[in-house]
Each structure stands twice: as structure tokens, then as C-alpha cells.
Amino acid sequence: MDIRELDVTDPSARRAWYDVMERAARADRPHALLEGFDAFEVTATEPGEYAERVRLEARDGGEVVGVAELELPLTENLDVGWCDVNVVPEERRRGIGRALLEVVAGRARNAGRSRLGGEVNVDPHGSRAGLEFALAIGAEEKHREDHLVADLPIEPAPVDPAYEVVTWRGRCPDEHREAYLAMRNQMNADVPTGQLDLEATVLYDARLASSEERLARSYDVRVAAARRRTDGAFGGYSLLFVPHGADYGWQDDTLVMPEHRGHRLGGAMKTTNYADLPEHIGLVHTWTAPSNTAMHHTNTALGFQVVEHMYEMEASI
Ligand SMILES: CC(C)(COP(=O)(O)OP(=O)(O)OC[C@H]1O[C@@H](n2cnc3c(N)ncnc32)[C@H](O)[C@@H]1OP(=O)(O)O)[C@@H](O)C(=O)NCCC(=O)NCCS
């Protein structure tokens, strides 16, 4: 078995790498939500300026049997590397995962990182291999979230009459950008991250524009924002991604600004986005910390059900 870096200039090598990642990740997880091939192609062939990614592959007799990815943030959290390791089911418990992880840790250390973080998703009725592996390599649990899904359509929740919901797709219109950036930064500062010791990402106009432009290549990005009628102040936003060609959506951030809480705006913004989706979109995924009582309650009231537990693990390297 040898481990080498993926040659990102070779389309068939990229396809093989992605297929192994997908097959390994789906083996134990019927509800897995994975980055689609389109989105993978964008990050593999046109790296962004805010993170560097290293992709490794383990080969046995010429066949790719395991893959790993290391993401190195370049503007904040410069002591951290994010990693993901996947080994095809028939080749597990032969030390391939550990060997990949050692190369990942070496590359992270060379880039000045002192800790490795990673997400492990566990199906309550499936294998706990990912979690057992993370514990075996010395990682500790730092934060936990539930992965929930809901079938569409979902009955739209009423909007408090003191507010109106404004929507857009793709790039945020110029007239809302300042308010939207303030809310995105509030979200990054407020989102519960348990024991994870991380600097919040700070978004400014150019960074938001770069992310909007890159995301648009693989996703239909939909935003619903609540605006108070009396003074036009924005009270919150909800962000939904629909991968191109997919029949599901992925609920990302939902924030209600502190002085606007208590008006049930979260459910109203989310369901406004769902109601606007084309009919063939039949499922929405989301993640919420079980300790985030308000959002968990909003989600279960809308019909979301827990399908996986997600553990944020971290190891010193
Ligand atoms: C997690 C995963 C990468 C492990 O790959 P692997 O090649 O089987 O790992 P290794 O053989 O190097 O195992 C290293 C140690 O992890 C632990 N471990 C791995 N799988 C385990 C399992 N199913 N049950 C209990 N312990 C396990 C053991 O301590 C093992 O050492 P041992 O075999 O000497 O007892 C693989 O199961 C996988 O791809 N799972 C799906 C993706 C995932 O969850 N990745 C983790 C996110 S980073």
C-alpha cells in the first residue's frame, strides 16, 4: 500500500478519488449528505483564496482503497487543520485509515498546525467505526449536533404582521448587503460550537462576493430575510442550498438577531424558502446542536426528524 497526493490535474484520478470517498462514506450512512461531484470539482480544480486543500489517496495494487482530505484555513484558525478520512468497507481494519491520518497530520504540522479537527457522523442504527477510529487516534469530542431531515412540502408558517420576508437567489442585492453582512457576522459569532476553541470567520464584502460566486457554480443559493415594517431593520435570515440537479435542499444558517427574537421569525423564514422551491425538491437536511433548544424546537415543529448524530472531534498533533 502506498499513499500519494491526488493529481488534481487528472480528471479520471479526481473521479476515482471522489467515488472512493462517496462509497466509503455512504457504506454505513443511508442519510449521509455529501458534497456533490460538481462542488468537489470546483474546490479541486480552482482552489479558493481562503483555504488550501490537500487530498491524499491510498493505493493497493493500483486500486484506490482509501482517501483523505486536509483543509488548511488561511485567514483565521491558523493553528487548525480540518481532516476527513475514508476507507472502502472491504479494506477496513488493516491500518489504512491510521496510515492516511499519519500523513495528514505530518502535512498539517509542516503547515504550522498544532491540532486536527474533523466531523464524524454516526447513524444511530449503523456502524460506529468513524467514532471508534477518531477515539483510537487520540481525538476528543468537542461538540455535538444532530442531523435532521424533513420531507417537503412543509406548510408555510405565518409571518408576524410586524415583519415582511424578503427573498433573493445567488448574490445578495446591493441594497441589502450591509445588513446581510452584519447578520452573517453575528451568526458566525453566535452559533454554538461547544468546547471547540475557534476564531469566528469574519465576512466582509469581497469575501462574501467570492463565496457567492464560487457557490453559484454548484448550488442554487436561496436566502429569506425578515425585515421590520416600521423601520426597515433586518431581524434575521435563513440560508438554503440546493445542489444543481439534486432533488433535496440543505438548510444552512438561520439567525434571528437578539432584539428580534420571540416573533417566530425562524420558522417563517425557513418555510418561505421551502415554499419557493421547485416541486421535485422533496427533502431538506439540517444540523442543530441538541443544546440549542429554540432551534431544535422550531425544527421538530416543522416535521424534522433526527437521522444522524454528528460529533466534532479534535486531536493535538
Ligand atoms: C473510520 C475509517 C476511516 C477507519 O478506517 P480503517 O482503515 O478501518 O482504520 P484502521 O484500520 O487504521 O483502524 C485504526 C483503529 O481505529 C479503531 N477502529 C477502526 N474501526 C473500528 C471499528 N469498526 N470498531 C472499533 N474500532 C475501530 C481501532 O482502534 C483501530 O485499530 P485496531 O484495528 O488496531 O484495533 C473507516 O471506517 C471509514 O472510512 N469510515 C467512514 C468514514 C468516517 O467515518 N471517517 C471518519 C471521519 S474522519
Write the pLDDT tens digit of every residue in 30-85. Answer: 999 999 999 999 999 999 999 999 999 999 999 999 999 999 999 999 999 999 99
pLDDT at 193: 86
Query: Ligand 1 centre and the CA of 94: distance in Å?
Result: 9
Pair 232, 107 in one domain: no
Residues 217 and 298 reside in one and the same domain: yes
**Is 143 a domain residue?**
no
Strands (E), the chain: 2-5, 51-60, 63-73, 80-87, 115-122, 140-151, 163-169, 219-228, 234-243, 248-256, 283-288, 305-316
CATH code, domain carrying 281 = 3.40.630.30
Atom from ligand 1 closest to the CA of residue 99 = 12
The per-residue pLDDT for 191 is 85
pLDDT beyond 90 at 90: yes
166 and 84 within one domain: no
Task: Give the residue whose CA is nearest to atom 44 of ligand 1.
Answer: 130
Same domain, 271 and 181: yes
> Are 127 and 167 members of one domain?
no
Q: Do 230 and 207 sit in the same domain of this protein?
A: yes
Tell me whether residue 181 is in a domain.
yes
| Domain assignment present for 249 | yes
Ligand 1 test: best mutation among 93, 120, 135, most atoms within 8 Å of CB? 93
Residue 287 within any structural domain of the chain: yes
> Which residue's CA lies nearest to atom 7 of ligand 1?
97
Ligand 1 nearest atom to the CA of residue 96, by list position:
7
Together in a domain, 196 and 221? yes
What is the share, in percent, of the chain residues with pLDDT greater than 90? 94
Task: With a cut of 90, say whether residue 294 has pLDDT above it.
Answer: no
Q: What is the pLDDT of residue 287?
A: 95
**Within this chain, do residues 75 and 29 fall inside the same structural domain, yes or no?**
yes
pLDDT above 90 (res 269):
yes
Tell me the torsion sign for CA atoms 148, 182, 113, 50. Answer: positive
pLDDT of residue 14: 98
Confidence band for 192, pLDDT divided at 50, 70 and 90: confident
The stretch 286-305 carries a mean pLDDT of: 92
Can you give the residue range of the structural domain that contains 45? Answer: 2-138
Mean predicted lDDT score pLDDT of the chain = 96
Do 129 and 162 belong to one domain? Answer: no
**pLDDT on residue 1:** 92
Find the 98 Cα to ligand 1 centroid distance in Å. 8
Sorted by sequence, the CB contacts under 8 Å of residue 285 that are 6+ apart come out as 33, 147, 148, 149, 248, 249, 250, 251
Q: Which three cell numbers stand for residue 99?
A: 496510515
In a domain, 36, yes or no: yes
Query: Which residues have any ligand 1 atom within 6 Å of their CB?
Result: 24-25, 84-87, 92-98, 118, 120, 127, 129-130, 132-133, 136
Structural domain count of the chain: 2
Does one domain contain both 134 and 204?
no
Nearest atom within ligand 1 for CA of residue 86: 39
Same domain for 53 and 12 = yes
- Expressed in angstroms and rounded, the spacing between residue 50 Cα and the centre of ligand 1 is 30
Answer yes or no: do 58 and 36 share one domain: yes
Evaluate whether residue 316 is within a structural domain: no
Which residue of 71, 133, 309 sits with most ligand 1 atoms within 8 Å of its CB, as the best mutation to test the pocket?
Answer: 133
pLDDT at residue 190 in the model: 86
What's the gap in Å between 97 CA and the centre of ligand 1? 6
